[in-house]
Structure 1
Amino acid sequence: MNDTARAGGDGAVTSESVLSAGAALATESARFAARGWMPGTAGNLSMTLARNPLRLAVTASGLDKGELSATDVVVVDGVGDWVAEAGLPFRQPSAEAGLHARIAAVTGAGAVIHVHALAAVRAGYQWPHGVELHDLEMLKGIGHSAHHERVTIPVVRNHQDMAILGDDFDRVYLPATESTAEVPALIVADHGIYAWGRDLRQARWHLELTEALLQIALATRA
């Protein structure tokens, strides 16, 4: 894969880097659709192509997420709007591209995944102020101690305005310090979950592990 598409560098966005990202996003999208996490046209994925200025490759709007191709991708800017990059024609980006861009800008993520996994939807409904997790082995997979930390998966209320959702994300996202633990996931109540990582593979791991942790929390708590 092109280094710019993989790592989110500051190089020029080219048609080759966009198509490379599109192929990777299509592969992951098919994986999540097969798990029932992206039914029909639901959900979206992105990869950071460049940081200065911020450019993301985001899955195009209104397409079956189990049938994407490398060309079913759009380049957006730091607020999620389509930009004319690499001579590519206009396509409608996902309506949630703005939140992808905000997450990539704030966290430095190389990839962001948004799906409608059931445990995340249920957990956001049951614990609207955040899902506290502790003493679970899989916490190590999202960067935390299994036995010495209490980790909270943040929850925000759903909203159709991505700028408002982005502001809510800024409010609940706390970079790691001595007293707060960074978590690479965000639950949007009654809607779904976003997860991110330095690249698409790590974002997938963070998503799968967080969903499994939420399944455990739902199964073991009254």
Structure 2
Amino acid sequence: MASPGDATIWLRRAREDIGSVCRTLYQRGWMEGTSGNVSVSDGSVAVISASGRAKGRMTARDTVALRLADGSPLPGESERPSAETSIHLAVYRAIGATAAVIHAHSPYATALSARHERHGGTGSVLLERWELAKGLGMREPDLVALPVFLNRSDVPRIAQEVTEHLERADVRTPPALLIARHGLTVWGRDVDQAQNRLECVEALCRLALLTDANERGEQYGESA
């Protein structure tokens, strides 16, 4: 068990990392306005961006520390956590490790999620034989099944579906998911790895859309 001093250092670093990542992704156009959220967990506590904060001006003060077990705030916390906290907690509880989760509205992933939305349930985007998939740390990167969940106002229901999905995970399951017409969520052992994976998945979604557009263009040309 970490000493109180170590826990304080970890908590301060987690808050600073969250603010830094939010500002960086805002500058890239992936967390515009108050959209998106970031969290970090040490296995017992999760720190997450506060609700309604402009990501371009995020600081360490714009975060909330929660108990991983039940999502309750630690003593002294006054901010309201992100509306998607339950999804972050579902990921942490499923993977059972120190980690970081990032949810962003990166444009290509969001666009692809809209095209592959499945009415009444989840679907998946198959990303096949892209070298960049190795950046996700998967054992079988040649075939990545990126899940697409329906966007619901009942966020805990999405979190439950994420839990069920991760319980069925196999070698094709990436450390990432899409919520239809909403955005991309990824996770890694820390914020650096999570951000790297976010960039990889966004690039893969861009390649998938470009390839699909090219194939459609070739088909149209043949039938003209």
TM-score between the two structures when normalised by the length of structure 2:
0.83
Would you say 1:136 and 2:125 are equivalent positions?
Answer: no
| C-alpha separation in 2, matches of 1:166 and 1:118 | 22
8 Å CA contact 2:67, 2:74 repeated in 1: no
Give the 3 Å change call, closer, same or farther, for CA 84–145 of structure 1 in structure 2.
closer
Structure-2 residue corresponding to 1:5 = none
**CA offsets 1:155-192 (integer angstroms, 9 cap, x no match):** 1001122321112112333433xxx4230101000101
Structure-1 residue corresponding to 2:49 = 59
Give the 3 Å change call, closer, same or farther, for CA 59–151 of structure 1 in structure 2.
same
CA RMSD in angstroms, aligned pairs only: 2.1
For residue 114 of structure 1, the aligned residue among 103, 106, 110 is: 103
Would you say 1:175 and 2:169 are equivalent positions?
Answer: yes
Structure 2: gaps of 5 or more residues = 118-122, 217-224
Structure-2 residue corresponding to 1:218 = 209
| C-alpha separation in 2, matches of 1:135 and 1:35 | 27
| C-alpha separation in 2, matches of 1:183 and 1:107 | 12
Structure-1 residue corresponding to 2:193 = 202
* Structure of greater Rg: 2
| C-alpha separation in 2, matches of 1:10 and 1:98 | 25
**CA offsets 1:61-103 (integer angstroms, 9 cap, x no match):** 1111111111211012337744234xx3311111111111111
Structure 1: gaps of 5 or more residues = 1-8
| C-alpha separation in 1, matches of 2:77 and 2:46 | 15
8 Å CA contact 1:76, 1:97 repeated in 2: no
Q: How many residue pairs are counted as aligned between the two chains?
A: 205
Would you say 1:22 and 2:15 are equivalent positions?
Answer: yes
Q: Identity, % of aligned pairs?
A: 30
8 Å CA contact 2:49, 2:81 repeated in 1: yes
| C-alpha separation in 2, matches of 1:161 and 1:77 | 22
8 Å CA contact 1:78, 1:102 repeated in 2: no
More helix by share: 2
**CA offsets 1:97-150 (integer angstroms, 9 cap, x no match):** 11111111112351000011111111111122211011111011112478x732
Structure-1 residue corresponding to 2:33 = 40
Runs of 4+ in 1 over 3 A off after TM superposition: 9-16, 78-82
